Structure 1
Amino acid sequence: MGSVLVDQTFSVEQQLDDVDHRMERNHWVLNSPEPPAPWQELLRCIRNTVFPPDQQNKGNRKRVCSFLEALFPILKWGRNYKASKFRNDLMAGLTLASLSIPQSIGYANLANLDPQYGLYTSVIPPLIYAVMGSSRELAIGPVAVVSLLLSSLVQKIVDPVADPVAYRNQVLTVTFFAGIFQAVFGCFRLGFFVDFLSHAAIVGFMAGAAIVIGLQQLKGLLGINHFTTKTDVVSVLKSLFKSIHQPWYPLNIVLGCSFLIFLLFTRFIGRRNKKLFWLPAIAPLISVILSTLIVYLTKADKHGVKIVKHVKGGLNPSSAHQLQLTGPHVAQAAKTGLISAVIALTEAIAVGRSFATIKGYHLDGNTEMVAMGFMNVVGSLTSCYVATGSFSRTAVNFSSGCQTVVSNIVMAITVLVSLLLFTKLLYFTPMAILASIILSALPGLIDINAAYHIWKVDKLDFLACLGAFLGVLFASVEIGLLVAVTISFAKILLNSIRPGIEALGRLPRTDIFCETGQYPMAIEVPGILVIRINSGLLCFANANFVRERIMRWVTEENDGIEGNAKGRVVQVVLLDLSNVMNVDTSGIHALEELQRKLFLHGIELAIANPKWQVIHKLKLAKFVDKIGGDKVYLSVAEAVDGSLGSKVASALSSC
């Protein structure tokens, strides 16, 4: 008998001790310090932008050195650069140049610019990036998608046929604005702007752009004189059918298709045998040399074969005086520059991170943005248009065994030597070869496997992918981007307006509470309805939905309607706020309305695990006083135990 009394006394003391500890932890939640004010957060963000946290405790000299090394990574890795690495970088750079020269000329033609501007863009930007960039494999230069983007957007401002000089000046101005935006994104850690284009949107955009680019190359492949400047597939096909009645020369088709087959065959060989990776890399240069010799020796240009003709050589001329920073088209140039900046950054960072992952190092996105911003600003002053990282050339650079960005320097110097010495040899290069080189690079932009994977995993993501694809294909490049971004934002809004609200139950033999839908073995606590709000923000957009959904749930539980035959009576509604990062006044008002309605039904409201900003605002709004400080808990398990033991505690305290 005595042992029973001892056990009961010990049990009572343990329960009282648990209550004391729980109340202490309640005080931890309620008495947490005030979170930083918005202006303090802004100042901290600016301070971390200029001097990252790992540099703030260093001396001034070390801090300056760290800042310079972050801005110019070459100062850090250059100290340990060895001759063995240079041998690899030299071979990679020469291989890269053999692919870059013909591609640069072709992409300049795609952008409606003279051939030399593509070569200029393969000289200065790679040199700037080699000093400021952090990727070891990324190959810098003009790319097909950005060239098409500039062609489609800038020609709406200035007609490249009617006024080619004004068109070129506008492209240089757009390049300047693109560089400014990219640098600003990097300096102020605004890389999230690039994330507006999701992976799914990029997959669809690239595929649509590849088809449009391919159709545009029919002009060079068929030797057509008059062709549409629009980029949608309907306009291109109409122009193609109309050109059938115009004079055209089959030699262009024979020459272009022959070398296109050769290029695709070398690519197939390179994929089958990894040791022959260099073959598809030098195939474009071989095609240019052979086709130029054929045209020169056979005088094919006299029989209708379209040729490049004059390519201006020499160093990059200054173009600072050509920038149009005043006038009626500045706003349009800035808008085009912003779109170009986002597309160029998205492609470059995606490609750079892919190869950085293979090599096992981290690629700093903000450093990349600053580097690309500076290289495009300097490029716009030296007759270059928007440059970025190329997937095809980066893959060649990687396969060639590059060790550092010195391969970009070797490539740029090789292109510069070609500009100084060999541009006259490009006079007889047929346009059909440039078209075939671009066409051979397009299959890499269409990733059917990625689209199928997106369809399997997330149907809404696939809708964004499909929207971007169809928008680019049947409307324009900017419409395709707009459709993709709109669908992505609609997905975010849908998740925000209708957040998940799940009932929780305790897993057997644990204090862990999980969603009963995902874990059917989880046991609901009698008399307590535990609900988790799966939204990062309880705000005006979803507050009323959350309140009404909870009240409907309580009514269903108490009435025992179809689907809940138990008809258990709810005495406490416990809100798990662990996923709610912040709350606004509409959210607080909804919680107050919920508490008032539950009180009228004789039901208590409690909250568990509120985040820093949430509990601070609930205290300021006096909501904690309304529900009682003892109804705010550190965890769901403590809240359930506290609600179940409240009657026991009150009974013991009255004894």
Structure 2
Amino acid sequence: MNTTQLAKYLPILDWGRTYDRGTLTNDLVAAVIVTIMLIPQSLAYALLAGLPPAMGLYASMVPIVLYAIFGTSRALAVGPVAVVSLLTVAAVSKIALPGTAEYIAAAITLAFLSGLILLALGLFRLGFLANFLSHPVIAGFITATGIIIAASQLKNILGVDAHGHTLPELIGSLAHNVSQVNWITAVIGVVATGFLFWVRKGLLPLLVGLGVAPRKAGVVAKAGPVAAIVATTLVVWFFDLAANGVQVVGDVPKGLPPLTLPSFSMDMWSSLIGAAVLISVIGFVESVSVAQTLAAKKRQRIDPDQELIGLGAANLGASFTGGFPVTGGFSRSVVNYDAGADTPAAGAYTAIGLAGASMFLTPLIFHLPKATLAATIIVAVLSLVDFSILKKTWHHSKADFAAVAATMSITLLMGVELGITAGVSISVLIHLYKTSRPHMAIVGQVPETEHYRNVLRHDVLTDPTILTIRVDESLYFANTRFLEDRIYDEVAKQPALQHVVLMCSAVNTIDMSALESLEAINARLRVGGVTFHFSEVKGPVMDQLSATGFLEILSGEVFLSQHGAQSALRVRSDL
């Protein structure tokens, strides 16, 4: 294998050849900014996943280095994200109690299984399978999970005990325990949340208005969560608010990520494999969407199958270094891009920064209130909530609206796993329904042209002896009966008919079921004294028809163009 072929699987060999001092500077600046952002995010997402805060830092180190070696995006920042963290706690809490050694082992194993699945999909180049998740369904799912995540963090904002994986369960549990609200915690949580919302929307314009350079103002604005962490930690420490019931992060072990092994218990694997598949697919879709968006801005290229390999390696790395499932995060990737990251090396430098924080700064977050981390999560996930997708799909396609509405409703009421499963299932069913009833049009000639259009939409010329039907879909087992019925109905309406032409300009493939239907149509029309023709058949479809011998029994001809068919058949009809 030469260097070019090897670089296909190790993209670092590609961008590494042109690495220079200017690129190093840009990557280091981006790494500093992303590191500042990732420290509170990593701790918060570990909390969301029901895991010790240190595991959030661990999951943000080795995985991002491995992605830098195997991934193709130059701006994607890999680590824990909100949706995957929620999927993790939903899956792992079914087999173990949060905080137990078994729970931690299950989360590590989940990362391992997810890594194996992603790696297998990448090696077998099966990235196209993610296309079965439509964008509206993903948007609906993320909106619903954002609401659930925000609701799940209200217990930390209010300082009460609550549980549940669906919105009704969470609301009911919060309502039941509302009398236990710790008002000091609530004040910290509400103030931190309000401050972070203001930082997200108002700090940058304020700084720019005061004359601060936009780039420096952006760096300061991105550091808003760090300011909230520092301020609330100092308040809790100075007034010893932990003694008054304010829950704090507590002791976070210092040092680099430990070496860990996933469980190889078949019972645990069978319990987690379904969730691992969901996490892999959802994580990949979210990651590759972000990566492609950012790459397009610099006219760079993303290889989805290699992205699967990069994310698979990242998750395997997480499983062997005390982490949990990871993927490319939207907010941190955008920050990484905006901060000027030129190559994936910025991620490796970020990992070094997080390693330093893990070794030297963890004692400083002992008094960090969990309410502040909860505020960080709430502000982050609510930016993903987008109810406008309902309005957009309602106006565009009622079927897509049904898929989105069902996904959101089932996710909120029955849980994230059932929600996304229902969304995928409904999307596939809708696709099958639409393609089983393809759009068909009777076409005629636009006067004084060689163009043919739908007789219901245009003033066109038609011949009572010639019927041309354009089918706007590939022909396969689900829509062949619909095609047969339409042709027979139209033939029955026109007693003077001599020729039927199937215009195939939109047909990309014909399967065996469709071929048998075409044979049946040909035979039935022949009995009725009507010849069956084709026009504008694509090359691959023509190859299929030729290979099966269908053309030998066809009563009519295959014409290169519809105008050629109409001209030739009109002459025959006149004879």
TM-score higher than 0.5: yes
CA offsets, 1:466-501, max 9 Å, x none?
222111111100111022112211111112221122
CA offsets, 1:198-220, max 9 Å, x none?
11011101110111001110111
CA offsets, 1:362-395, max 9 Å, x none?
2221121111111111221111111111111112
- CA shift, 1:624, in A, is 2.5
Q: Does 1:464 align with 2:391?
A: no
**Counterparts of 2:85 and 2:38, CA distance in 1:** 15
Q: Does 1:363 align with 2:290?
A: no
- Counterpart residue number, 1:231: 165
- CA shift, 1:555, in A, is 1.6
Contact 2:36/2:226 (<8 A) preserved: yes
* Larger radius of gyration between Structure 1 and Structure 2: 1
Taking the TM superposition and a 5 Å limit, the aligned residue runs for 1:508-547 are 508-518=447-457, 520-539=458-477, 541-547=478-484
Taking the TM superposition and a 5 Å limit, the aligned residue runs for 1:54-453 are 63-160=1-98, 164-224=100-160, 226-228=161-163, 230-245=164-179, 247-270=180-203, 272=205, 273=208, 274-275=214-215, 276-320=217-261, 323-453=262-392
TM-aligned CA distance change 1:349 to 1:622, over 3 Å:
closer
Secondary structure of 2:94's counterpart equals: coil
Secondary structure of 2:502's counterpart equals: strand
Q: Does 1:486 align with 2:425?
A: yes
Contact 1:178/1:337 (<8 A) preserved: yes
Q: Does 1:627 align with 2:554?
A: yes
More deviation, 615-624/440-449:
615-624
- Counterpart residue number, 2:211: none
Q: Does 1:577 align with 2:513?
A: no
What TM-score results when the alignment is normalised by the length of structure 1?
A: 0.83
Unaligned runs of 5+ in 2: 209-213
Contact 2:204/2:221 (<8 A) preserved: no
**Counterparts of 2:542 and 2:28, CA distance in 1:** 60
**Counterparts of 1:329 and 1:522, CA distance in 2:** 66
Contact 2:410/2:418 (<8 A) preserved: yes
**Counterparts of 1:508 and 1:241, CA distance in 2:** 71
Contact 2:465/2:573 (<8 A) preserved: no
**Counterparts of 1:538 and 1:556, CA distance in 2:** 26
Contact 1:392/1:444 (<8 A) preserved: no
The amino acid across from 2:127 in the alignment is G
CA-based RMSD of the aligned residues comes to 1.9
Equivalent residues, number: 567
The amino acid across from 2:383 in the alignment is G
Secondary structure of 1:582's counterpart equals: coil
What TM-score results when the alignment is normalised by the length of structure 2?
A: 0.94
CA offsets, 1:575-602, max 9 Å, x none?
1233333334432332233223323332
Contact 2:150/2:382 (<8 A) preserved: no
- CA shift, 1:326, in A, is 2.4
The amino acid across from 1:165 in the alignment is A
From 418, 433, 440, give the equivalent of 1:501: 440
- CA shift, 1:621, in A, is 5.1
**Counterparts of 2:504 and 2:516, CA distance in 1:** 16
Contact 1:277/1:396 (<8 A) preserved: no
**Counterparts of 1:547 and 1:298, CA distance in 2:** 80
**Counterparts of 1:67 and 1:571, CA distance in 2:** 59
More deviation, 522-531/296-305:
522-531
Unaligned runs of 5+ in 1: 1-62, 559-568
The amino acid across from 1:123 in the alignment is M
TM-aligned CA distance change 1:360 to 1:242, over 3 Å:
same
Q: Does 1:636 align with 2:562?
A: yes
Secondary structure of 2:494's counterpart equals: helix
